[in-house]
Amino acid sequence: MKNILGLKCIDCGKEYNDSDVKYVCPACGGNLDVVYDYSAIKKEFTRDTLTADKNFSHWRYFQILPYHLPLTTYHLPSLVVGWTPLYRAENLSKKYNFPNLYLKDDGRNPSASFKDRASSIVVVKGQELGVKTFTTASTGNAGCALACMCANLQLPCVIFVPKTAPKAKIAQLLLFGAKVIAVNGTYDDAFDLSLKASDEFGWYCRSTGYNPYTREGKKTAALEICEQLKWQVPDKVFVSVGDGNIISGIWKGFKDFYNLGFIDKLPQLIAVQSDKSNAISKAWKNVVADFQSANVGQGFSPAIKITPVKATTLADSISVDMPRDGVAAVKAVIESKGFAIEVSDEEILQSLKIIAENEGVFAEPAASTSFAGFKKALKENKLKENETAVCLITGNGLKDIESAMKVAGVPVLIEPKIEEVKRVIK
Instruction: Average the pLDDT over each of 189-193, 332-336, 376-380 and give the range with the smallest value.
Output: 189-193
Q: Average pLDDT in the 271-281 region?
A: 98
Give the pLDDT confidence score for residue 321 in this predicted structure. Answer: 94
φ, ψ dihedrals at 336, nearest 5° = -85, 0
Average pLDDT over residues 271-289: 96
Instruction: Render pLDDT for 11-68 as a digit per residue (tens, 0 to 9).
Output: 999 999 999 999 999 999 999 999 999 999 999 999 999 999 999 999 999 999 999 9
Residue 354: pLDDT band by 50, 70, 90 thresholds?
very high
Q: Once rounded to an integer, what is the mean pLDDT over residues 348-376?
A: 98
Identify the structural domains of the chain with CATH numbers, from first to last.
Answer: 86-111+214-407 (3.40.50.1100)
Instruction: Please state whether 233 falls in left (phi above 0), alpha (psi between -120 and 50) or beta.
Output: beta
Distance CA 417, CA 137 (A): 52
Q: What angle do CA 408, 411, 414 make, to 5 degrees?
A: 170
pLDDT at 295: 53
Mean pLDDT, range 114-139, rounded to an integer: 94
For 242-395, list the strands marked E by DSSP: 268-274, 339-343, 388-393
pTM of the model: 0.94
Q: What is the dihedral of CA 398, 401, 406, 411, to 10 degrees?
A: 90
Say what the pLDDT of residue 296 is. 46
Burial 136-156 (b: 16+ CB within 10 A, else e): bbbbbbbbbbbbbbbbbbebe
Q: pLDDT: is 335 or 409 the higher one?
A: 335
Q: Are 157 and 137 in contact (CB under 8 A)?
A: no
Is residue 142 within 8 A of residue 118, CB to CB? The reply is yes
| pLDDT 10s digits, 392-412 | 999 999 998 899 999 998 787
Please, are residues 269 and 330 in contact by the beta-carbon 8 Å criterion?
no
Sign of dihedral through CA atoms 259, 262, 265, 270?
negative
Average pLDDT over all residues of the chain: 94
How confident is the model over 64-104, as pLDDT tens digits?
999 999 999 999 999 999 999 999 999 999 999 999 999 99
